[in-house]
A = this chain, B = another copy of it.
């Protein structure tokens, strides 16, 4: 009875979050600039209303009674109860007023960031970021007390339930040890290769056509989703209506194409979550790292492989006949592979190759931990950023905050504790894909033929249909036979960037 009340309550919550997801997408993909001020107020009230609903006073009693009746529940309902309680326990740590103030500060700061980043103006952005960080520290403190976690782990746990800094640090330490030497080795290997450039212009409409075509081929369901343009690409919306975005560079079609395939990986996860659980916490995507594993499995493991590029080459050639006629050799599968699998230390995380990418994440993880524990002041971020970029990738960002600490939407939008999930996702993607390869003997040949059904079935069984039924560690261990490590990732990058398989 109490479980049924909780079920219905979460249904209503999911409806309000549906609305929140659509207006958030709208804000990034559709909203004219003058709409921002009023939108920030509107979304803040909506979030406050959701928070108020999520913490309504009856819930404590309902949970107590539902846990008492737990033995009568089916397994998925028990998992649902665990996830409901996890959310609620987290939400009750924060007074509604703080949630709304936080939301307003984040909206304003994110909106200002859009302009100030392009103007390379950290000074003007500083007061807004200070405001976001100081409020976020207050939030982290309150959450940490409730959850009995350090403030940073309390934020991390919001994106990655069950994850702890102490468990992430050994993985990142291993990557810090492995990567610098590996990057040098890969760069050395590349020196001996001839790669022909693909030279634009690549008309935006043709890029969009190509993106839509390959989305369709790899299994994006257009009855339940769409592709648009935004400043910062993302996957939003709801499982029944997934909104992915990209941005176009007329001189580099591959940036948008690979971005679209990346977001399509996120989208396929959402579109294939268990249909009958969709309005319930147990029906949601497991965590950000599992989400990222699905985007990276598609982009990095599948779409940047030799096999996929053999399949994709004719589509790419069809999209850009003029560019191809100038330099046909640049659009052979072999050359497209050498382009798609290229290591190059660079400033911008979202444009980074998969080998240098973890360095960007380690940098942010270390800085944001310090921002939240108070050992780093917001004013000192540009300098600290530069120091770590120099140390990790040999690049200086002094005076270039646009391509340094202003490059990401995350901190302006208040998303602290999110960054490590990208690299956890990369490790998970490699581990899952190697497990899928053990289960499907001709996987590479299938991909070369543009056939994704068998891989999708494996992912559906092992990841998509699970929703949040299992904890992340259990999901990974069940699917791959072992807990998460860096081994599969190291093997993957060695095969691709050294052995060139």
Q: Give A residues with C-beta under 8 Å from B.
A: 11-12, 14-16, 18-20, 22-23, 26, 30-35, 37-39, 41-46, 49, 53, 221-226, 237-238, 240-241, 278-279
Contacts and interface: CB of A to CB of B under 8 A. Distances in A.
Given A22-B22, A26-B22, A26-B26, A15 B42 contact: yes
A55 to B, nearest CB: 15
A350 to B, nearest CB: 25
A241 B38 contact: yes
B22 A224 contact: no
Contacts of A222: 32
Nearest to A31: B241
22 contacts: A15-B42, A15-B45, A15-B46, A16-B42, A18-B39, A18-B42, A19-B20, A22-B23, A23-B23, A26-B26, A30-B30, A30-B226, A31-B241, A32-B222, A32-B241, A33-B223, A34-B221, A35-B237, A35-B240, A35-B241, A38-B278, A42-B238
Contact of A34 (B16, B46, B224): B224
A278 B278 CA distance: 37
A30 B43 CA distance: 20
Nearest to A226: B32
Q: Is the interface of A mostly helix, strand, loop or mixed?
A: helix
B33 A46 contact: no
Given A15-B41, A37-B240, A42-B238, 17 more contacts: A11-B41, A15-B44, A15-B46, A18-B42, A19-B23, A22-B22, A31-B241, A32-B223, A32-B225, A32-B226, A35-B237, A35-B238, A35-B241, A38-B238, A38-B241, A39-B240, A49-B49
Contacts of A224: 32, 34-35
Contacts of A53: 49
Q: Of residues A33, A42, A221, A240, which shows the largest number of chain B Cβ atoms within 10 Å of its Cβ?
A: A42
Nearest to A243: B30
Contact of A241 (B14, B39, B221, B238): B39
The oligomer's copy count stands at 2
B223 A49 contact: no
A14 B14 CA distance: 22
A211 to B, nearest CB: 16
A34 B222 CA distance: 8
A237 B222 CA distance: 25
A97 to B, nearest CB: 13
Q: Of residues A19, A26, A33, A45, which shows the largest number of chain B Cβ atoms within 10 Å of its Cβ?
A: A19
A196 to B, nearest CB: 34
Interchain residue pairs A-B with the least CB separation, the first 5: A35-B241, A34-B223, A15-B45, A18-B42, A38-B240
Q: Of residues A15, A53, A226, which shows the largest number of chain B Cβ atoms within 10 Å of its Cβ?
A: A15
